[in-house]
A and B are shown apart, each in its own frame.
Chain A
């Protein structure tokens, strides 16, 4: 068996690649990138381990092309993931915003509660020793909160 040449290695790498299926293009792109990257490495090792080979220049050119192809395919795979997930990303951001908006309304409620708290103080002061007065003030807090929610 003869030693493989750079052309043999590149041909084997290309034969190992398959067209991405429509079901999971990003994943297939990543797989293709792996094949290109691996073939590039095999060619690099070929150059390093066979410094006297006649096709070194061809090996280097193919290696650089495959290396660049691996980068491009990975970039493309990420772009596809982003495109496929764009709607979901937007929805999750919207969910986070809704919670923030809701919590902002709670702060407004807090402001109204402060008014109710003042009522508790004043009522309590006016009705020293009268626990029923305090209870009434508590009811007013609850009422104030309800109205703040409305």
Chain B
């Protein structure tokens, strides 16, 4: 290997190391973006859930009303009564969408460097292969091409890296207030409005389950047969209650994760210039873990 080629490869290696360092530096941003996107995904069912919970409550109420009962009619009436909440849910979904868009933007801007230049490298390799076989004589040293490719990639990526970091920092700083307002709105929706609807529904269902249990009592063996419908119905009511309780826990847990998101966002801004190596920001890690726990709980639904 010539001295000049060694000279060429040394800066290539340094550049690649630097590039690798930058990728790690942006890792907390990428993690934040991914976790924020998961949080938005966790929030998504809340938007449609409010009308669904309202309808469930209305159906249970209809079960306890005097007069004729047709389940299909009760379902339609419940849907009509809760229709305004369906529209409200669509409004509430906008908050989650805004967070998801922002999260996706941060994930994109932090992770873009990893794949940006792949297409060019592939094109370069193809061109080199054609040149190599020209006239049956090897006219190109693939080792040198590889070194040049690495250096070109690293040099170009470093320039882009600088721009990406500037954009990421500016994006974080410029949107801190907007993020806080949107996340607070999500918290109010999840923790107050949606949770309130869930509590109303829970209260009705708990009362009905209590009555089902009371109605299931058979003083004598001869009474059991007549009580079987109430006894079987308990399982459905209990399952509905448990799903409601899990969703309520989920909605309440959202607030803690949302607070962690805001703290992690502030942490990213405060420490953006100090990030380095494999160090992960504590608050970002905490946020990521909270979202993971929330999603694990959601998976149990």
Contact = CB atoms under 8 A, between A and B. Distances in A.
A9 to B, nearest CB: 14
B122 to A, nearest CB: 10
Interface in B130-167: 131, 134, 139-141, 144-145, 147-149, 151-152, 155-156, 159-160, 163, 167
B293 interface: no
A99 B81 contact: no
Contacts of B140: 124-125, 128
Contact of B207 (A41, A87, A99): A41
Interface string B8-25: 100000000000000000
Interface string B180-223: 11100100110011001101100110010001000000000000
Contact of A37 (B2, B87, B196): B196
Interface string B273-297: 0000000000000000000000000
Nearest to A100: B105
Main secondary structure of the interface of B (DSSP, over half): helix
Interface in A123-150: 124-125, 128-132, 134-135, 137-138, 141-142, 145-146, 149
- Which A-B residue pairs are the 9 nearest by beta carbons? A131-B5, A88-B181, A37-B200, A99-B105, A78-B88, A96-B101, A131-B4, A88-B178, A30-B192
Contacts of B149: 120
A55 interface: no
A85 interface: yes
A125 B89 CA distance: 63
B261 interface: no
Interface residues of B, number: 81
B50 to A, nearest CB: 7
Interface stretch (B111-119, B238-246, B249-257): B111-119
A98 B106 CA distance: 11
Contacts of B106: 99
Contacts of A10: none
Contact of A91 (B91, B151, B156, B178): B178
